[in-house]
Amino acid sequence: MKEYILELRGVCKRFGGVVAANQVTFEVPKGEVYGLIGPNGAGKSTLLNLISGIYETDDGTIIFDGKDVTKIPPYTRSRMGIGRTFQTPRFMQRSNIRDNLLVGTDLADQKGYLKSFFTKRNSNFEQELETYMKLAGFSVDLDEDITSLSYGKQKLLEIVRSLLSHPKVMLVDEPAAGLNTKEIEYAMALLNYAAKEKNIGVVLIEHQMDMVMNICKHIVVLSFGEVLARGTPEEIAKNEQVITAYLGGKHV
Amino acid sequence: MIKNKIKLSTLLTLAICLLIVLILPTKMSSYTMRVVNNALIFGIVSYGLSIMLGMGGQISFAGLTFMGGGAFAAANLCSGRWGFWLDPVLAIFVSAVLMAILALVIGMIILKLNGSFFTFATIALVQVTYTFFVNYKPLFGGAGGITNIAQMKIFGIEFGNNYFTWFYFLAIVVAIVAFFVERVRQTELGRSLAFIRDNDTAALTFGINVYRTKVIAFTISGFLGGLGGALYALQMRFVGADMFTYERSTLFIIMTMVGGVNSSIGVLVGSLIITVLPELLRNVPGIDRYLQLSYGLLVIVMMVFMPMGIAGMFNALKKNIKIKVASRKTSKNLNEVKEASK
């Protein structure tokens, strides 16, 4: 029996008349990259927002690490170990790279403001960062502004920041968008490391099919808020319904 | 291992500050010393705002409310109006803690509001407290204010009206507050506030309870406001409601913006400039009445040309020099390579 770190059971979300998620059910195992694909507007990012708690679910339950987290606020969920990155990098624009990364370490330490004020900071930060930056394929000057980095590097650094927070599940929203081929390889290396070395369940939204087929063991396909298909990359690639959803229906 | 290396620039700044503290009193009259002291007190209140605005991105006018509250609290505790005199140092501490509690309660209510709605609530707060200060005699002495405030005494040293003693005392208090603010900036609270300032949704996904963090920051700003107010009352030995009008509350925003919202030294420089400038201009005929106008213009110009204040300007300058040095180095290297290839 496989061990699931994250389970969605019949999750629903409506925005007015638009159904963004309808009875979505899938399970994410520990230690593998789980693909979440679908055409634009299928409700993929909405689903990530539901899992991380930014949106409240209308119906259904989200079970994380054996606990029902459906009614738990987002900051508590992230402390429990739900980490994420965003479609466009969300950093503290006016802070330097060090502070932007230490936010991740803060989350891993969970010291609280008082303890953090009076005690020394986690000494593993730089060691850990070194490991991740090797995978990310570039080095950073911690005193530089975050805005001095290119878009691609910022996106890679977001994965690094999430890794620093020691999550159990990592929700990764289109990491390859806007990256060059070399950077996509680094992103894949980081995600593989997260899954295999850190035993994190990585939920990956991505349109870059080469990447998805390459690193995902299982894939769930969404279309108009509903689960269209689930299976291994080979199964998904052959699935008629999936091809129709992506390329449009046949007109006979 | 991370070594907490102290940067050269930090040491230099500290040395300059120490030098100023040692030299300044020898060049000052008793009156100008008092003006500088006021600037230091305003600096303490501005530090509170710097935590809210500079770190957390929340524009708050409420600093003056807590300064006023702190001033009246200390005045009540040290003037025998209730039949007892509290030790001044204890009174200062009690006033600051009282204002922290008040800020906590008020913050829990108005920080349910976001962004500019929160700002409007703080403006209203200043108006409401001013009305209380003017009209409620038992606590605030009405239009006449509270006089007969006991003189400051610490470790047996009586301050009297000696503004030089006050200056050294205030310099120490400001140093402690500045150190505290710097420490906040470098630890989890400062980073959480910065995250809320730049992206509160993302902050939620990094374990940051946005509402609670804002309330904590507001409470700290209340404490610092109360501390500044209590010191103000004891130095002036008089407190009146007129010191805490809405116009005054904008001054703190101007002070922090001129100096640099996110810089501990900048906040102090801003307070000094905004407090000392009117005193300097007072003797220039015809200018004093344009003071309010010039503040307004100053803020507009600052916002357009140096949004991060004087401190921000220095940082930009430093970065420019760094880039120039680096590019010179690379061009030098290029030349060397060219030479070698010849």
pLDDT digits (tens, 9 = 90+) for A142-179: 888 888 888 989 999 999 999 999 999 999 999 988 88
The band of B3, judged by pLDDT with boundaries at 50, 70 and 90, is very low
Share the mean pLDDT of chain B.
84
pLDDT in tens, A77-119: 999 999 999 988 899 888 889 889 988 888 888 888 877 788 7
d(CA A45, nearest CA chain B) in Å: 14
* Residues B193, B248 within the same domain: yes
CB contact under 8 A, B207 and A92: no
User: Which residue from A54, A92, A113 is facing B201, i.e. has the nearest CB?
Assistant: A54
How far apart CA A29 and CA A101 sit, in angstroms, is 27
* Best residue in B50, B53, B185, B188 for a mutation probing chain A (most A CBs within 10 Å): B188
pTM: predicted TM-score of the whole model, two decimal places = 0.88
Phi, psi of B116 (to 5 degrees): -70, -25
| Statement: residue B44 has pLDDT above 90 | yes
CB A215 within 8 A of CB A192: yes
User: Which residue from B184, B188, B208 is facing A75, i.e. has the nearest CB?
Assistant: B208
What average pLDDT does this structure show over B51-55?
A: 87
Amino acid at site A219: I
pLDDT-above-90 percentage for chain B: 27
pLDDT in tens, A188-228: 999 999 989 888 999 999 888 888 888 999 999 988 888 88
DSSP-derived 3-state class of residue A151:
helix
* Residues B273, B342 within the same domain: no
Inter-axis angle of helices A97-109 and A151-164, nearest 10: 20
CB contact under 8 A, A95 and B204: no
According to the model, what pLDDT value does residue A249 have? 58
Residues of chain A with CATH 3.40.50.300: 1-81+169-186+200-252
* Best residue in A95, A111, A144 for a mutation probing chain B (most B CBs within 10 Å): A95
Question: What is the CATH topology of the domain spanning A1-81+169-186+200-252?
Answer: Rossmann fold (3.40.50)
In a domain? residue B51? yes
One-letter-per-residue 3-state SS of chain B: CCCCCCCHHHHHHHHHHHHHHHHHHHHCCHHHHHHHHHHHHHHHHHHHHHHHHHHCCCCCCCHHHHHHHHHHHHHHHHCCCCCCCCCHHHHHHHHHHHHHHHHHHHHHHHCCCCHHHHHHHHHHHHHHHHHHHHHCHHHHCHHHCECCCCCCEECCEECCCCHHHHHHHHHHHHHHHHHHHHHHHHCHHHHHHHHHHHCHHHHHCCCCCHHHHHHHHHHHHHHHHHHHHHHHHHHHCCECHHHHCHHHHHHHHHHHHHHCCCCHHHHHHHHHHHHHHHHHHCCCCCCHHHHHHHHHHHHHHHHHHCCCHHHHHHHHHHHHHHHHHHHHHHHHHHHHHHHHHC
The band of B193, judged by pLDDT with boundaries at 50, 70 and 90, is very high
- Number of structural domains in chain B: 2
d(CA B321, nearest CA chain A) in Å: 14
* Residues B255, B312 within the same domain: no
In a domain? residue B217? yes
**Maximum CA pair distance of chain A?**
72
In a domain? residue B317? yes
Using CB atoms within 10 Å of the CB of residue A80, give its burial: 0 to 12 exposed, 13 to 18 middle, 19+ buried: middle
The parent domain of residue B127 ranges over 33-281+288-307
In a domain? residue B26? no
* Residues B65, B52 within the same domain: yes
What average pLDDT does this structure show over B255-277?
A: 83
* Residues B57, B202 within the same domain: yes
Q: Does B170 touch chain A (CB under 8 A)?
A: no
d(CA B138, nearest CA chain A) in Å: 38
* Residues B157, B256 within the same domain: yes
* Residues B94, B203 within the same domain: yes
How far apart CA B206 and CA B196 sit, in angstroms, is 11
The band of B77, judged by pLDDT with boundaries at 50, 70 and 90, is confident
**B184 chain-A contacts, CB cut-off 8 A:** 117
Give how far the C-alpha of residue A114 lies from the chain's centroid of Cα atoms, to the nearest Å.
30
Q: B181 or A3, which is more confident?
A: B181
* Residues B326, B191 within the same domain: no
| Statement: residue A71 has pLDDT above 70 | yes
Q: How many CB atoms lie within 10 A of CB B277?
A: 16
| Statement: residue A2 has pLDDT above 70 | no
User: Which residue from A84, A93, A104 is facing B198, i.e. has the nearest CB?
Assistant: A93
* Residues B248, B320 within the same domain: no
In a domain? residue B4? no
How far apart CA B33 and CA B39 sit, in angstroms, is 10
According to the model, what pLDDT value does residue A122 have? 65
Plot region of A126 (φ>0 → left; ψ -120 to 50 → alpha; else → beta): alpha
Predicted complex ipTM: 0.88
- Strands A4-15 and A59-64, bridge-based pairing: antiparallel
Structure tokens at B48: 């509170």
* Residues B195, B329 within the same domain: no
* Residues B297, B326 within the same domain: no
pLDDT in tens, B209-221: 999 999 999 999 9
According to the model, what pLDDT value does residue A72 have? 92
Q: How many CB atoms lie within 10 A of CB B66?
A: 34
Structure tokens at B88: 């001044």
Q: B296 or B104, which is more confident?
A: B104
The band of A123, judged by pLDDT with boundaries at 50, 70 and 90, is low
pLDDT in tens, B124-160: 999 999 888 888 878 887 777 788 777 777 787 777 7
Phi, psi of B211 (to 5 degrees): -60, -50
CB A33 within 8 A of CB A204: yes
* Residues B183, B276 within the same domain: yes
The band of A252, judged by pLDDT with boundaries at 50, 70 and 90, is very low
Share the mean pLDDT of chain A.
87
| Statement: residue B6 has pLDDT above 70 | no
| Statement: residue A16 has pLDDT above 70 | yes
| Statement: residue B1 has pLDDT above 50 | no
| Statement: residue B82 has pLDDT above 80 | no
DSSP A55: S
Q: Name B233's bridge partners.
A: none
Q: B12 or A171, which is more confident?
A: A171
Of B58-62, B163-167, B226-230, B314-318, give the lowest mean pLDDT range. Answer: B314-318
The band of B304, judged by pLDDT with boundaries at 50, 70 and 90, is confident
Calculate the CA dihedral of residues B251, B257, B263, B266 and round it to 10 degrees: -70
According to the model, what pLDDT value does residue A250 have? 56
What average pLDDT does this structure show over A4-20?
A: 89
| Statement: residue B14 has pLDDT above 90 | no
CB contact under 8 A, B191 and A84: no
Q: B199 or B319, which is more confident?
A: B199
| Statement: residue B265 has pLDDT above 50 | yes
